[in-house]
């Protein structure tokens, strides 16, 4: 039984509460599978990150990495909390603009931004373009000439640090498709190219070392390397780095076995490292930007499913199926990600068995949770997977032509549908019949 749910998250019927709403009622009212976000948790996490900077008296930006979860309401929420965002495609940019998010607070990332996407970023006056490779410097240079304009840029550096996490989500090691390598001198070459272009205003440098990182050490090393690089460029080229962006990746708790520091503790440490290192190297304290994705939305999200069929393989195991699966959360299959689940109507009831909680997709690997402890269950019961808020819906698919779930935001006990459930008609909306 998870330590996550306590008497505080339960109402007088004994049902799980999400943001003050009864989880069984949410499933009944909006149907399943359903993605629910507790808005207060999202707001609180953004505020905690901001508080670290305010307390340290450092110029900053908390740029929500919107690939973790994006819809119109989410962009509006981040804007209400005066956050910045990181976008990685024309699609994310467009949705954020549609939500009224100020372009000036967007950072545009990506290792293969198209000419059209870069043009769009310039036309919409996106705050900063995070330059990732030489091809992009040329592409952007040409567009700036054609459009007779200028823009702010930063250089994405690969600092040669590999974070201890699942190998698919490492991005900071030297052998990476992202960014300019420090060791081989690519970073300096890129610096010179950008500085030679009067239309590009170099704000500073960026590194992202990985995702779901639990150790402070990786961030400390990356932050120090970035300051050292800034000091080197100051000394060699008299260039003053105005922004150091340390990316995201702050690990969160998924199961009782995870014991991460609080996400804001990582940031405190990073800020202190940068402060100490700038002092030691004698350069001016730059603004510090972070790009948390998972740590802002992960623990705020819940996936609600209804239990359907059950298969008991005598002497081996039991499979309990739900009405969603790999289409709404691919992470268990893709990364061996682990989650916990509780019954919506009896979250604290003592388990009587361990089962494989499986989805409804036509793949044996469609397992959401292995060996999930459960009390007695029956078809129709609502089960809630916890901490599904990051990279769940954002990586959802229509595999097997299952429609994507609805998304409900709850705040102060009030639910609101912020993304409607796909229906069957939506599934062929893009198709043309055969001529
Ligand atoms: N900044 C950059 C440049 C990134 O590449 C990423 C994530 C972030 C920020 C946000 O990282 P976060 O704080 O969310 O860890 N689909 C994978 C995660 C991929 C992360 C890719 N980059 C997953 O489901 O675990």
Count Cα atoms within 13 angstroms, Cβ side, for 196: 9
298-319 as b/e: b if 16+ CB within 10 A: bbbbbbbbbbeeeeeeeeeeee
pLDDT tens column, 252-306: 999 999 988 898 999 999 999 999 999 999 999 999 999 999 999 999 999 999 9
Q: Kindly write down the DSSP assignment for every residue of 348-362, as one continuous string.
A: TSPP-EEEEEE-SSS
pLDDT at 1 over 80: no
Q: Work out the average pLDDT over 97-126.
A: 98
Residues 92 and 113: beta-carbon distance below 8 Å: no
pLDDT at 77 over 80: yes
Say whether domain 7-38+298-428 belongs to CATH 1.10.3720.10.
no
Q: What is the pLDDT of residue 7?
A: 86
Whole-number Å distance between alpha carbons of 372 and 111: 38
Given the DSSP bridges, would you call strands 151-158 and 200-206 parallel, antiparallel or unpaired?
parallel
Considering the chain, tell me which residue range(s) the CATH 3.20.20.10 domain(s) occupy. 109-292
The residue among 3 and 346 whose pLDDT is bigger is: 346
Q: What is the pLDDT of residue 410?
A: 98
* Nearest CA owner, ligand 1 atom 8: 248
Q: Which residues line ligand 1 (CB under 6 A)?
A: 65, 68, 86, 109, 169, 171, 208, 211-212, 247-250, 291-295, 331, 335, 390-391
- Give the CATH architecture of domain 109-292: Alpha-Beta Barrel (3.20)
Residues 49 and 267: beta-carbon distance below 8 Å: yes
Distance from Cα 171 to the centre of ligand 1, integer Å:
9
Considering the chain, tell me which residue range(s) the CATH 2.40.37.10 domain(s) occupy. 7-38+298-428
Q: What is the pLDDT of residue 8?
A: 87
Q: Work out the average pLDDT over 343-371.
A: 97
Distance from Cα 212 to the centre of ligand 1, integer Å:
8
Q: Work out the average pLDDT over 15-22.
A: 98
Q: What is the pLDDT of residue 3?
A: 82
């Amino acid at each position: 039984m998870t330590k996550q749910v306590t008497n505080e998250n339960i109402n007088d019927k004994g049902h799980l509460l999400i943001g003050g709403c009864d989880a069984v009622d949410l499933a009944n009212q909006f149907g399943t599978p359903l993605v629910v976000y507790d808005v207060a948790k999202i707001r609180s996490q953004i505020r905690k990150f901001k508080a670290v900077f305010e307390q340290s008296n450092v110029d900053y930006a908390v740029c929500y990495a919107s690939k973790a979860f994006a819809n119109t309401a989410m962009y509006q929420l981040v804007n209400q909390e005066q956050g910045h965002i990181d976008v990685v495609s024309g699609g994310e940019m467009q949705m954020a603009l549609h939500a009224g998010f100020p372009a000036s607070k967007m950072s545009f990332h990506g290792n293969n931004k198209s000419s059209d996407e870069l043009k769009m970023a310039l036309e919409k006056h996106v705050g900063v373009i995070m330059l990732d490779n030489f091809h992009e410097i040329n592409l952007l240079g040409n567009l700036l000439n054609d459009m007779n304009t200028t823009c702010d840029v930063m250089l994405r550096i690969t600092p040669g640090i590999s974070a201890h996490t699942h190998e698919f989500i490492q991005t900071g090691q030297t052998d990476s498709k992202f960014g300019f390598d420090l060791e081989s001198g690519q970073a300096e070459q890129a610096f010179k190219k950008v500085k030679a272009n009067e239309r590009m205003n170099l704000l500073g440098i960026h590194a992202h070392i990985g995702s779901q990182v639990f150790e402070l050490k990786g961030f400390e090393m990356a932050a120090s390397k970035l300051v050292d690089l800034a000091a080197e460029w100051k000394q060699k080229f008299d260039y003053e780095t105005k922004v150091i962006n340390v990316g995201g990746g702050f690990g969160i708790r998924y199961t009782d076995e995870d014991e991460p520091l609080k996400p804001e503790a990582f940031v405190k440490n990073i800020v202190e490292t940068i402060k100490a290192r700038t002092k030691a190297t004698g350069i001016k304290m730059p603004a510090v930007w972070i790009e948390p994705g998972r740590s802002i939305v992960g623990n705020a999200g819940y996936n609600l499913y209804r239990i359907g069929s059950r298969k008991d393989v005598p002497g081996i195991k039991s499979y309990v199926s739900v009405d969603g699966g790999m289409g709404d959360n691919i992470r268990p299959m893709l990364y061996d990600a682990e989650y916990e689940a509780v019954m919506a109507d009896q979250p604290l009831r003592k388990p009587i068995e361990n089962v494989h909680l499986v989805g409804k997709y036509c793949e044996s690997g469609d397992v959401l949770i292995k060996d999930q402890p459960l009390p007695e269950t029956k078809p129709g019961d609502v089960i809630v997977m916890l901490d599904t808020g990051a990279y769940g819906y954002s990586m959802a698919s229509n595999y097997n032509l299952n429609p994507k779930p609805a998304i409900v935001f709850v705040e102060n006990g009030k639910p609101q549908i912020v993304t409607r459930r796909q229906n069957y008609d939506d599934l062929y909306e893009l198709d043309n019949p055969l001529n």
